[in-house]
Amino acid sequence: MTGRIYVVPIHRPLTVNLQFLAETIAARFGIPSVVLPLNIDPSRAFDRFRNQFRSTELLAQLLEEAPADAIRILGLTDLDLFVPVLTYVFGEAQLEGKAAIVSCFRLKNELFGIPPDNHLLQTRLLKEAIHELGHTFGLVHCDDPFCVMRVSTYVEEIDYKGDDFCAECRRHLSRRLEKLGGIHLRKASS
């Protein structure tokens, strides 16, 4: 099967190493991943009353701009995202769909009054990116405390879990990938 996971920076260039993120994503899903800047306009997603950005609108733009060979498209941003009913979201994904988005806005140490830590930020962003992409492959939240599909509403919870799937989630994912066209997952490697 040919096709890629596209990793798309949105808004400002991020301080994290996008190349490293793309490589790790490729390893987790067994699909080549590349960084691809696209023309995404955040101002269309801005809500001036909440001073936040509608993640659903950004997902729609990602889908519009996605290259033809995109198996999945993942937006990475530093904007503060929300969906109308919730105060904020770390990210959003189309369950069993094509697009996902993750924000590092609420993953930053600075938000909690502690010194910035770019390495930690990169690890958190990676975990949330794999988590949201997991949803696009039909995975739901997992009770395993170390599984990347474990739900996290605090950054501490993100720090506690790992950046890989537990055996059960990996089995589900493998089945989905095989259906998609013969992608075989390698054993997890960091």
- As to burial, measured by CB atoms within 10 angstroms (0-12 exposed, 13-18 middle, 19+ buried), residue 95 is exposed
Per-residue x/- track, 138-157, other proteins (CB under 8 A)? --xx---------x-xx---
DSSP 8-class letter at 106: G
Marked catalytic residue, from 23, 96, 128, 132: 132
Please tell me whether residue 99 adopts helix, strand or coil conformation.
strand
Q: Give how many residues touch other proteins by CB under 8 A.
A: 19
- As to burial, measured by CB atoms within 10 angstroms (0-12 exposed, 13-18 middle, 19+ buried), residue 174 is middle
Question: Which member of 2, 51, 87, 189 binds other proteins (CB under 8 A)?
Answer: 87
98 lies in the site for other proteins, by CB under 8 A: no
Per-residue x/- track, 36-75, other proteins (CB under 8 A)? --------------x-----x-------------------
**Least distance to other proteins, CB of residue 150, Å:** 11
Residue 122 CB neighbour total at 10 angstroms: 20
**Least distance to other proteins, CB of residue 78, Å:** 19
Active site residue 132: yes
**Least distance to other proteins, CB of residue 160, Å:** 15
Q: Nearer to other proteins by C-beta: 83 or 111? A: 83
135 lies in the site for other proteins, by CB under 8 A: yes
Q: Nearer to other proteins by C-beta: 118 or 153? A: 153
Residue 96 CB neighbour total at 10 angstroms: 11
Q: Nearer to other proteins by C-beta: 86 or 180? A: 86
CA distance 115 to 108: 9
Within 8 A by CB and 6+ apart from 31, the residues are 3, 4, 5, 71, 72, 177, 183
Please tell me whether residue 171 adopts helix, strand or coil conformation.
helix
What residues make contact with other proteins under the rule CB under 8 A? 50, 56, 82-89, 92-93, 95, 135, 140-141, 151, 153-154
Catalytic residues: 132
